[in-house]
Structures are given as C-alpha cells and as structure tokens.
Structure 1
Amino acid sequence: MLNDNDSSINTSFVLATVGVIWYSTLWAIGIIGCLAARRRYRLRPRSPLASAPRNTVPGVSILRPLKGLDTNLYENLESTFTQEYPNYEILFSVADENDQALGVVRELIAKYPHVKAEIIIGEEIVGVNPKVNNLVRSYARAAHDILWVLDSNVMADPGTLGRSVDALINPSPKKAQKKRIAMVHHVPFAFVNEPQLGSQVEEAFLNTNHAKMYIAINTFALESCVVGKSNLYRRSDADKLDGSLKPHPPPPSEATSTLSSSADHYGLRAFGRFLAEDNMIASALWHELDVRHELSCDVARNAIGNMTLSDYIWRRVRWIRVRKHMVLTATVLEPLTECIVLSLLASWSIRRLLGIPMWLVLLIHYPLWIAVDLDVYESLAGHPLPFYRLGQFLGAWALREFLAFPIWCVAIVGSEVVWRGETYRMLRNGEVEHATGGGYLSSLLKRLHGSNRQGHYERLDNPSNI
C-alpha cells in the first residue's frame, strides 16, 4: 500500500511526464511553423493570372474601409492601385463625408485614372461593429463576386492579388483532393516607422511568435484560424452565412424575400454583432459551409504607427478577452505556450525525470527558441534581420515575453474591452454589447487606452490563435 510520500513521488512523476510531452509538442508545433514559413514565403513566383487577358480572369472587388489618417495611409492605399492583375475595382468606404482619408483617396484616384476606383460615403448601422457598418454599402455595391477585404493599415505587394486568386480558384493538387478553398488569407508582417517602444514590441510579437503559431495552425488545418487584415473570399459564400457556426439551409432567395425576411440575417450584416467579425466570417465558412481556407505565399504588410507600451498592453488585454469568450480552452492554456512559462515547466520536468539541472535546460532553451523565431522573421521578410537592428529587436522580443503572463493575468479576469474609444462588454460566442454605465473599470480603461486612439481602425486580430 502506498504511503503519502510514495503518492507524492508518483504524482510529481506523472506531472513531469506530462510536462515533457507538452514541451515536446510545443517545440514540434514551432518547428513545423518555421519549416512551413521557409517553404511558403521564401519563394513567391509570379502568378500566370497577372499577364492573362482581362476577360479570362475572374473579377475582384477590393474593399478598403477607412477612418482617419492611419499610419502610412498613402502608401498602403497606393499598393492596391498597383496590383499586377487585369480585372479588379477598388471601393473605398468612409462613414463621414468630412473624413480626412478622403483627400488621400482622391489624390490616388487622380494619379491612377486607369484603375476603376470609387468612394462610398455613409454607413449603415447593422450592429455594434463600426467596420462592418462602414462596409455594408461597399459589400452590396461590389461588381464582382470575389471580394478582397483589406484593412487601411496594410500594404500589399504588387503580385499579392494574382497569387491569392490563383490560390482560391486553382488550389494545389493536394488541396484539390480535399474540401473546396473558400477563403485566402495572409499572415501579418509588421514594420515600424515610429520609434515607440510599444510599436517595437508589437513588431517583435507579430513577426516571430504570432507568425510561427499562425502558420503552424494553418498548416495542420484542423480548425479555422484567420486574421482579418487581408482576406479574400466570395460574396456568394458569405451570403449563405448567419454567424451561428452551425450547418443550416441556405437563406431565402432575393426573389422571395421581403424587407422583414430572415435573409437580412445573412451575409456581412449578420456579423455586425461581433467585434472580431473577420475571424467569425472565417469560422462560419469553415463550419456552416464545410469549406476550407488557404494561406497564400504573400504577407499583409502591417504598418504599426505610434503605439506606446500602454497601447500594446491594452491591445493584448482586449485580444485575450475577446478570445476567452470564443475559445476558452485555448485561452486558459495560453500561458503554457509562451516561451518563459514553458521553459520553467520544461526545466522542472526534465530535472525530475532525467536529473539534468534546470539552469542547463534554460541555457539551451532560450537560444534555440530565439533562433527559430528569427528564422520565421527571415522567411516572412525575405531577408535576415539587419545586424544594426538585432539588439533593439531582441530587447523588444524579450520584453514581450516577460509581459505575456502578467498581461494574461489582467485580461483573464475581465470581460470589458475598449476599442476606438468605446467600451464593450464581451458576451458568449464572441458577441458584444455596448457597456452601459460609468463603472470604475470602464472609466479606467478609457483613460488608459481609449483617449489617444480615436479615429483609427485598430484590428483585434485573431481570437482563435493559440
């Protein structure tokens, strides 16, 4: 019969075994993400669609929602005018006729008269999400079935559209044998043009750990995992979605529907009740239509502006709180996937099982982890991190890792988020409502974060990412 001491030894042995298995699994995921990034992003061939006759390629409507003078706005928007693709239009959406972004758009339309581009002013309030409200009219007005929804803080390489359409309509033989590809998306790659600490930390996070996990999860493709900065999909598919994430009959046809018809609850309008509408549309395609997604070999070049460290922290708090109400298990386990917490778990487990000192495990762990992250950066950027930036980048990377667990502790206990100066309360399944009342937490969040971020679409990114 076991005494208490034997039972304690057996329990610690089991925990150590589980710890080593978990550590090995996370390393396997990281290496798969690293190798997949090498394979996918280090060679970006020109799409044959780029030089095809206009009438032989499917048309694409590029939807760009705008609000104010975002960082790098001129260059970001100009990148859509210079796409190497023969058949597309651009629809710029603004809610206010006095929006400052309109001056930039009009200048670009005059500079590129050969590109079909249109400004759509005015929003329709279909939910709490201001981006969806801004896009509703452009979504309905688009001349083509294929839509490319592109955030205003994203710059795309000239070949992105051609390669993305190619991935949508001509999947690889391996993909073609499986379920239909209904969405093509792009991993964010951040670049900093402001010397703020928060901007540097965000850059280090998006270009290493986030990208590595995002690419790995999409390589396994066991579940939807999509960031909404740059997504390409068919409106005819989106019009069948209602955001329930459950298979259902198609919506009533336009011929038989009335103004009060349930058809109003399908398509883009159905996602106005979510803040992370991009992730929900992707998940709805996956679960309601039983179709799949594909990463193209391009990145969404994300211009990070004047982000303070406080901005970064509250952005991550918001992200975690959104995800907590959508993918609770992954959110609870998140600290165990981070570099520092994982290294402590692994070093204790390995010492318990093999007697190797904890300090030795840590000494090996951190250089290898950093090396993998830097390799992912090189794959996405197309070049190694410049040597003159190495020290600064690694400092921001280390600060991000040290902040990860404290940020998670703050985020996991709350349900309110601040976005564009407004406070929202997260509900189950990712839906939100405006937080009413002037409670202490609401006013504190607004003071710390909301007051200096007005006038910009600040993405929530991907709620389902581990």
Structure 2
Amino acid sequence: MVAESALGNAVTTCNQYGQSLWLVAAGWLAIGWYIFVVTVSTIGTIQVFRRYSRPLPKATRAPSDPNLPHVTIIRPIKGLEPYLYENLSSSFQQDYPKDKLSISLCLSSRDDPAYPVIEKVLARFPDIDARLYLEPKYEDHELGPNPKIRNMSQAYRELKGDVVWMYCAINTILVAPCVVGKSTMFRRSHLDQVTKNHVIPSRPYPRKPGLDSLSDNICEDHLLGERMWNGKLEEEEEGQPSEWGKHDLVFGDLAIQPVTKMATSSYVNRRVRWIRVRKFIVILATIVEPGIECFVCSACLAFGITTGIPPLLSGSQYCSTYLSTWSAFGLVWGLSAFVWMLTDFFLYRTLLSFVTIEVDENTPHFARPPAPESIARRPFLEWFLAWLGRETLALPIWIWSVFGGATIVWRDREFRVGMDNVAHAVGPASKQRSCNGSLNSDPNGQSQRSYGSDDSCEVRRRTPIENLTKMGMKTTAAAMDLDETSRLI
C-alpha cells in the first residue's frame, strides 16, 4: 500500500506540472548519464594534471645497463609535413644505448617528396642503426589493402629484438583498449601470439601473425589494441601468472606533432573516416558518442533538471515553476557548457605547458615551454574559436558519418568498409608498384641498397614511449590534436 501511495503521489505531482511519469523517468536517466560522463572525464582530467603538471622523474636505470632490451622504432612516412626533419630526427636523439636501438623508416618510393629529407636525416646520424624500407610489391594473397600495414610489413618482419613501437593510449580505469593511434610500445612476441589464429571468413587467404593479420582492416590501431587486450598470452593460457596484465603501460612522455592550419574540410573528412570505420567495430560506443560531447551532454543535464526536478519541489511553487521553463533549460545548458569549456582549456594549457619535456639543444621550438608571461601557447580567443567549431561540428559530423554511407577516403585511396570491418578498395586500383630500393645506414655510416617499390602512405611520426621512459628514452612523436585532448574518456 505504501508503494502504491508513493506511486500515486508521484503521478499526481507529475500531472500537476503537465509531465508524464515516463518523461520524469527519462529526465532522471539523463541526469544519471551526465553524472557518469562527468565522472569518467574527471578521472582523465585528474590523471592529466597529476602526470603532466610537473617534470617527470629521471630515468631509474642507467643507459649502460646490459639488461636493457633492444628497441626498434618503426615510422611509416608519406609526403612532406610540418617540421618533418625535426620530427624524424627526434627518433635518433634518444638517451638510450645506440647498440640497443634500431630505426626503420618506411616509405612508398623514392618519388615521395619526403625521400630527400630522410636521406638528410640518415646522413646526419651515420652512427645509428637505421634503415629506409621502400614498400615492395605485395599480392592480395599476401596482404590486405591497408596501405599503412603494407608500408610497415617488411620492417616489422625484419625488426631486431622483441620490443617494437605501437600506437595506443593510456587507460586508467581499464574498461576497454582505449587505443587512439598514438605512440606506445608492445612486444612482437605478444602480438604474434594473440594474432596467430586470426581468421577472416570473407578472405580466402590466411594472413601471417603480427601486423600482417590487420592488413584487411582500416582501423588497425584499435584492432591491435583489442587483440592485445582480449588475447591471452601462452603463460596465461597455461594458468601461469603474467606480469603484463592487460598491457596497461605507464604514462610516458608527451608525444608532440606540429600541425599547421588545417582546412575545415580536412578536419571533417578525418572525423568522418574514423567514425565510419569505428561504427562497425564498437557499435555501442559509436551510438552513444554524441552523448559524451559537450553540447549534447549538457542538453541531457538541462533536460533532466527541467523535467525530473520540478515534481520534487512541489512545496516551492516558484522554483518548481521556473525549473520547468525554457529559460531554466538554457541557463543549465550554458553553465554546463561553460564549465566544460574551462576544463578543456586548462587541460590544453597543462598539456601544452610542456613542463615534462627535458629541453636541450635538440629540442625544436614547437616542443619548448611557452614564455613565462603567456597564459597559454595560443591566445584564449583563438583557442576558443577552435573549440567552439569542434563542438558545433561534432553532432553533424556524427550524423553524416553514421547515416551517410560506409565509404571512406584514406591515403588518397577510396575504401568501402563492410559489417565485418573488412576494407575493400573502391574504384581503380592504385598504380602498380615498381622495383625500387631501400637505403640503409649501418652503424659504420656506410650506405647500402636493398630492394622494394612504391605506392603511397601517409606519414605517421611515432617513437616508443611508455615503459622505456623509465630507462632513459624520450620522444617527440605522435599527434596531440584538439579533438583528442578534449576527449579524455
């Protein structure tokens, strides 16, 4: 009887304010969603302030330690991008034993405009074990259409040692493999283990373990992290304890990519490509994505407060009536968006303060801390306009990406992504690769030639960070984009 009485009172109160019980329930669900998003975002925000608001501790192991593992840095490259020379040089400027470091630079052909820059970098560091791979010709039964995997495949198969670069992100609360294409590391033996039995039903040819197993997919970075996250290593399958956990590596150096002014169309195309690929992999996350954006999430809070709260304030006629108005909705939405914007700005300011960067004579100007009198690297108004544009475009981009088809353009090629997340080349195939060569710079500074070929790939400047930062490695490598740093969940 008590429950029936309470339900009756609730229905009466809802009717009094012209609201249905279902609408009130939806309002409380919206408030709950907002609290969940803000809670997870707060965890990421706290971690950023904890890790990047003060200098990192010094290396805990001496570079001369004989037990340091051999590390291979693989960097696929395409075309000339801002400060390409400085970015590539950063891979060679490591506080790490030279006999434990190898660098593999991957290029489609000597016709690529980046080729002279790479030759210049190799000539500058003749004492580093570095090699330039020119992409060989692959048949369909060897590799899928992913141009980046095709570009890196040979370098991966011929790398020295077991530790190799990977591009993934930090994951604090350990709910998913939060891979966003940034720079980190993994062991080749681990990746080979978790991909050795990977089969794609729609592909008649099996792929080799490792990176080659991801060549039929476009979002190889996410899938690579997913394989490492869900797969079991041999010791885990045998019931033995593993020290690797879910590959939740430690925080590392900031990875910095200088970006010149990007056209709005290029930004939109980049976002559309990513969402269209991801909607077939993480369907639920793609569906709820608009709800974690500033404007929509703030609207959820405003809707919840203006529909779920008034029935509880029946004793205060003024408050309950005002909260049911559009002006109250706008006020709540505006306050939420304002706090959200300030949080994003302080995150931007913290990350780009670069206080964790060990500045030396080789540090480029874009990776140096801003002037002490500067509030941030960019004027607030300039940053705010970029932030406003990003948030305003978020929902239209999502709608177009989800409902506008499954075709994407990536690295000057057009692909159609199926429900099984397999990429299919659309339209005429790219020009056939002809035999070229690869330029090697061995530790003795002597150049050698081996053979490869050509096509196109897009530059991705990455170097290992994470675990080996404790051993003296430092990086200036991957992208730190506004849309990524603003989304910390």
CA distance in 1, matches of 2:375, 2:45: 15
On the 8 A contact 2:195/2:210 being kept in 1, the answer is yes
Which residue of 1 is the match for residue 291 of structure 2? 336
Gaps of 5+ in 1: 151-184, 187-214, 247-259, 439-453
Does residue 398 (structure 1) correspond to residue 370 (structure 2)? The answer is no
Alpha-carbon distance in structure 1 between the residues aligned to 2:96 and 2:86: 18
Aligned residues of 2:272 and 2:401 also touching (Cα < 8 A): yes
Name the residue aligned to 1:192.
Answer: none
Amino acid at match of 1:419: W
Deviations 1:405-453 (A, max 9, x none): 1111111111111112211111124321112489xxxxxxxxxxxxxxx
CA distance in 2, matches of 1:269, 1:388: 41
**Corresponding residue of 1:389:** 379
Gaps of 5+ in 2: 1-7, 234-245, 310-319, 355-373, 430-455, 461-477
Q: 1:317 aligns with which of 272, 296, 299?
A: 272
Q: CA deviation at 1:8?
A: 5.6
Shift of 1:387: 7.3
- Provide closer, same or farther for how the CA distance between residues 116 and 395 of structure 1 changes in structure 2, counting only shifts above 3 A: same
Shift of 1:352: 1.8
1:129 maps onto 2:146 in alignment? yes
The reply on whether 1:29 has 2:32 as its aligned counterpart is no
1:140 partner letter: R
Q: Deviations over 1:177-207 (max 9, x none)?
A: xxxxxxxx45xxxxxxxxxxxxxxxxxxxxx
Larger radius of gyration: 2
Paired residues of 2:27 and 2:307 also in contact (CA < 8 A):
yes
- Residues 132 and 269 in structure 1, CA contact (< 8 A), matched pair in contact too: yes
Which structure has more relative contact order (CA 8 Å, sep 6+)? It is 2
Distance 1:388 1:38, change over 3 A: closer
Q: How much has 1:129 moved relative to structure 2? A: 0.7
**Is the partner of 1:294 in helix, strand or coil?**
coil
Q: CA separation of 1:119/1:148 partners in 2, compared to 1, >3 Å: closer, same or farther? A: same
- Native 8 Å contact 1:61 1:88 kept in 2: yes
Scaled by the length of structure 2, the TM-score of the pair is 0.69
Let me know the Cα RMSD of the aligned residues. Answer: 3.1
Q: Determine if contact 2:72/2:163 at 8 Å carries over to the other structure.
A: yes
Residue 174 (structure 1) aligns with: none
Distance in 2 between residues matched to 1:97 and 1:437, nearest whole Å = 23
- Residues 35 and 240 of structure 1: CA distance in aligned 2, closer, same or farther (over 3 Å): same
Which of 54, 66, 72 does residue 83 from structure 2 map onto?
72
Q: Which residue of 2 aligns with 1:140?
A: 157
DSSP-derived class of the 1:90 partner: strand
Q: Mean alpha-carbon deviation: is it higher for 35-44 or for 326-335?
A: 35-44
Equivalent-residue separation in structure 1 for 2:148 and 2:184 (angstroms): 14
Structure 1 residue 236 and structure 2 residue 189: aligned? yes
Shift of 1:149: 4.5
Shift in Å at residue 227 of structure 1? Answer: 2.0
Q: 1:222 & 1:229 partners in 2: Cα distance? A: 18
Q: Scaled by the length of structure 1, what TM-score is found?
A: 0.73
Cα distance in 2 between the residues matched to 1:124 and 1:40? 44
Q: Could you say which residue in structure 1 is the equivalent of 2:26?
A: 15
- Measured in 1, the distance between the counterparts of 2:82 and 2:103 equals 20
What aligned pairs does 1:168-183 form with structure 2 within 5 A after superposition? Answer: none
Matching residue within 118, 124, 133 for 1:111: 124
Question: Does 1:277 pair with 2:220?
Answer: yes
| Contact kept? 2:108, 2:151, Cα under 8 Å | yes
Secondary structure of the residue aligned to 1:220 is coil
Mapped to 2, the partners of 1:123 and 1:46 lie a distance apart of 41
Closer, same or farther in 2 for the Cα pair 1:245/1:368, shift >3 Å?
A: farther
Moved more, 54-63 or 18-27: 54-63
Contact 2:76 2:458 in 1 (8 A): no
Q: What's the offset of the Cα at 1:123?
A: 2.9
Amino acid at match of 2:338: P
Q: Displacement of 1:296 after TM fit?
A: 2.0
Percent pairwise identity: 29
In the TM superposition, 1:422-437 aligns within 5 A as 422-436=413-427
Q: Indicate the residue corresponding to 1:288 in structure 2.
A: 231
Shift of the alpha carbon at 1:295? 4.6
Alpha-carbon distance in structure 1 between the residues aligned to 2:261 and 2:410: 16
* Alignment partner, residue 225 of structure 1: 178
Task: Output the amino acid matched with 1:101.
Answer: A
**Distance in 1 between residues matched to 2:408 and 2:392, nearest whole Å:** 22
Q: What is the alpha-carbon distance in structure 2 between the residues aligned to residue 113 and residue 388 of structure 1?
A: 38
CA distance change for structure 1 residues 269 and 240 in 2, over 3 Å: closer, same or farther? Answer: same
Indicate the residue corresponding to 2:281 in structure 1: 326
Structure-1 separation of matches of 2:288 and 2:428:
32
1:89 to partner: Cα distance: 1.1
Tell me, yes or no, if structure 1 residue 90 matches structure 2 residue 131. Answer: no
Give a deviation string over 1:266-324, Cα, whole Å, max 9, x none.
11111100111111111101112263232523222123245210111111111111110
Residue pairs, 1:24-63, within 5 angstroms: 24-43=35-54, 44-49=56-61, 51-53=62-64, 55-63=66-74
Pairwise CA distance, 1:367: 2.3
Q: CA 1:98–1:301 in 2, change beyond 3 Å: closer, same or farther? A: same
CA contact (8 A) 1:228 1:278 kept: yes
Query: Match for residue 378 of structure 1?
Result: 349
After the TM superposition, which residues 253-272 of structure 1 pair with which residues of structure 2 at under 5 Å, given as runs? 264-272=207-215
Q: Residues 205-242 of structure 1: CA distance to partner in whole angstroms, max 9, x if unpaired?
A: xxxxxxxxxx6xx2111111112231311111111233
**In structure 1, distance between residues paired with 2:257 and 2:418:** 29
Provide, for residues 158-191 of structure 1, a one-character-per-residue CA deviation record: whole Å limited to 9, x for no partner. Answer: xxxxxxxxxxxxxxxxxxxxxxxxxxx45xxxxx
Hey, which of these two has a bigger chunk of strand by percent? 1
Deviates more, 1:301-310 or 1:72-81: 301-310
